[in-house]
Amino acid sequence: MPSNRVLVLFVLLLLFFNCLVISQQELVLNRWSRFISTGLIYLMLVLQRSNSKKVRSIFALFLIADILLFFYEQVLFNALTFIVKISAYILLSLLVVPELKKLKTNLFQKILFLAILGLNLAMLVSLVKMVPEKFNYPYLNVLFFAYGMAMMAMIITAVSYSNRYASNPSFYYTAATLFIVFADITSFIAYYLEFYEFFYADRIFYLLSLLALVKFASLDRKHSAVSELENI
Amino acid at 190: A
Confidence (pLDDT) at 224: 57
Q: Are 200 and 22 in contact (CB under 8 A)?
A: yes
Express as a percent the part of the chain with pLDDT over 90. Answer: 48
Closest CA to 16 of 153, 156, 161, 200: 200
Distance CA 22, CA 31 (A): 9
Distance CA 99, CA 176 (A): 17
Q: What is the pLDDT of residues 67-105, one digit of tens each?
A: 999 999 999 999 999 999 999 999 999 988 887 776 666
Q: Check whether 24 has a pLDDT greater than 80.
A: yes
Higher pLDDT: 228 or 217? It is: 217
Distance CA 5, CA 164 (A): 31
Q: How far is CA 44 from CA 13, 27, 41, 178, 206, in A?
A: 15, 26, 5, 21, 16
SS3 content of the chain, % helix, strand, coil (to 5): 80, 0, 20
Residue 186 neighbours by CB under 8 Å, 6+ apart: 198, 199, 201, 202, 205
226, HSE (Cβ side, Cα atoms, 13 Å): 13
Question: What average pLDDT score do residues 23-46 get?
Answer: 92
Burial 4-32 (b: 16+ CB within 10 A, else e): eeeeeeeeeebbeebeebbeeeebeebbe
